[in-house]
Amino acid sequence: MQDRDIHKLLLEVRAGTGGEEAALFARDLVRMYQKYAESEKWAFTPEEVSQSESGGYKTFVAEVRGPGVYDSLRHESGVHRVQRIPTTERAGRVHTSTASVAILPVIPEEEVHIGPADIEVSFSRSSGPGGQNVNKVETAVRITHIPTGIVVGSKAERSQARNRERAMKELRARLYEMQKAEREASLGATRKEQIGGAERAEKIRTYNFPQNRLTDHRIGKKWQQLDRIMDGNLAPVVRALGKELS
């Protein structure tokens, strides 16, 4: 299967370094990708959302579907850094925060074989705020892929079967990325390797709000009008990355 033939993916955005400001930046990134998806006529369906106290996102996972979606967004994986004055900053100082993005292709079952003996499945009760159990049955699913050690899980749904389906979808995506990386003689493409530890030094891109500028450090290119990019005008960036990194 070629990247251009994959028309469905999981977009995962997580707050990194920077506390509440990182969560707010993660929310802004989600909005940017959602606006871009709308401009491309792609379907954008949230699957898992964990909000911070300020209304930002600790974690946000969405399924994005449409022609060429994975080929377009595959270079978005990595640590994104923001430099701006937080709304809570009274002294007007610029703060630096990060959020991580992982792009995981949704792969048909026949493309990635996972034998029953290759996985270990465990179940638990989903927990709500403060650790309270919101379900009286064990609906949360955790799956370990024994040959690789990859661990995935889902607790977003009330149905155990649905959570298992979601977890298996993520497992196939991560195995596909790993197998692809091995074919390309690289070090692997699991989520951890895509986004590192979300530390500032691992950045692939900087969003500088005071200067209204975006910089992609992998190709050394800068764009002005960051405000337009954050409003979904991501196409020039996507085109440049596709040309330089493919």
pLDDT the model gives residue 196 = 52
Q: Which distant-in-sequence residues (6+ apart) come within 8 Å of 232 by Cβ?
A: 32, 34, 35, 36, 38, 39
Q: Is residue 186 very low, low, confident or very high in pLDDT (cuts 50, 70, 90)? A: very low
Q: Where are the beta strands (DSSP E) in the chain?
A: 8-15, 43-51, 57-65, 78-84, 95-105, 119-124, 140-145, 150-154, 203-208, 213-216, 221-224
Tell me the average pLDDT of the chain. Answer: 85
Name the residue among 102, 64, 75 with its Cα closest to residue 221.
75
Q: Is residue 91 very low, low, confident or very high in pLDDT (cuts 50, 70, 90)? A: confident
Q: What is the pLDDT of residues 128-142, one digit of tens each?
A: 444 444 455 678 899
Which residues lie across from 100 on neighbouring strands? 14, 79
pLDDT the model gives residue 131 = 46
Q: Is residue 162 very low, low, confident or very high in pLDDT (cuts 50, 70, 90)? A: confident
- What is the rounded CA–CA span in Å between residue 145 and residue 30? 29
Average pLDDT over residues 90-104: 91
Q: Is residue 222 very low, low, confident or very high in pLDDT (cuts 50, 70, 90)? A: very high
Q: Is residue 51 very low, low, confident or very high in pLDDT (cuts 50, 70, 90)? A: very high
All domains in the chain, ordered by first residue: 3-107+188-245 (3.30.70.1660), 110-183 (3.30.160.20)
Average pLDDT over residues 76-99: 90
% of residues, the chain, pLDDT over 70:
86
Q: Is residue 158 very low, low, confident or very high in pLDDT (cuts 50, 70, 90)? A: confident
pLDDT at 185 over 60: no
